[in-house]
Amino acid sequence: MKQLIDFIPLIAFFTAYKTVDIYMATKVLMVVTSIQYGIYYLKDRKLENAQIITLVAVFFFGSLTLFMHDETFLKWKAPIVNWIFALTFLGSHFFGKDNIIKRMMGHAVNLPEPVWTKLNYSWVIFFIISGTANLYVAFTFHEIWVDFKVFGSLGMTLVFLVGQTLYLSRHIIEEDEENLTAEPIEKE
């Protein structure tokens, strides 16, 4: 459910872009993102690193877009955020005990170590491709870049997640039967 809620600012941005213009859409994006992350902060008393990166990027590139009255700045937001995520996932191989994907999913899924590594590298590649695709479309197909940002990026993400799920399903290590069942408690 949280993943769907994360699309609210993007949907609000898309709606404002289609009904008014890029500058109103940028303002809407900044306001709705602020409200959304403000609610997350009030609820959890913290923001995740990815949320902080996204929030800073929305305000940095949104402010430049509004002050310079040039949408070029906003077009760079998605590629740069994706590439920051790619660098972060890549860097996690060299810093810390576990890579990021294992830190995020290790509590829910038991996988062999080489699978965690491949999975993390697949996210690095996905973020690089996603950022590059966003950049290419934004500067080559100006008339559809917002449509691609909403529907193309979402489609790419869904296809990637389905592929990741299929890959994971082949490698999950099943827990021993005895570890899954608790001993019955006898009443005296």
In angstroms, the CA 61 to CA 53 distance is 12
**Residues with Cβ < 8 Å from 50, sequence gap 6 or more?**
85
Domain ranges of the chain: 1-68, 76-174
| CA 137/CA 175 separation, integer angstroms | 45
pLDDT band at 5 (very low <50, low <70, confident <90, very high): confident
Q: How confident is the model at residue 20 (pLDDT cuts 50, 70, 90)?
A: very high
Integer Cα distance of 185 and 89 in angstroms? 45
Residues 6+ apart with CB under 8 A from 176: none
Confidence of residue 109 (pLDDT cuts 50, 70, 90): confident
Q: What is the pLDDT of residue 53?
A: 95
CA-nearest of 79, 101, 105, 81 to 90 is 101
| In contact, 36 and 65? CB cutoff 8 Å | no
**Cβ 71 vs Cβ 65: under 8 Å:** yes
Predicted TM-score of the model (pTM)? 0.85
Mean pLDDT on 130-149? 95
Share of the chain above pLDDT 90, in %: 76
pLDDT at 2: 63
Comparing 23 with 170, the larger pLDDT belongs to 23
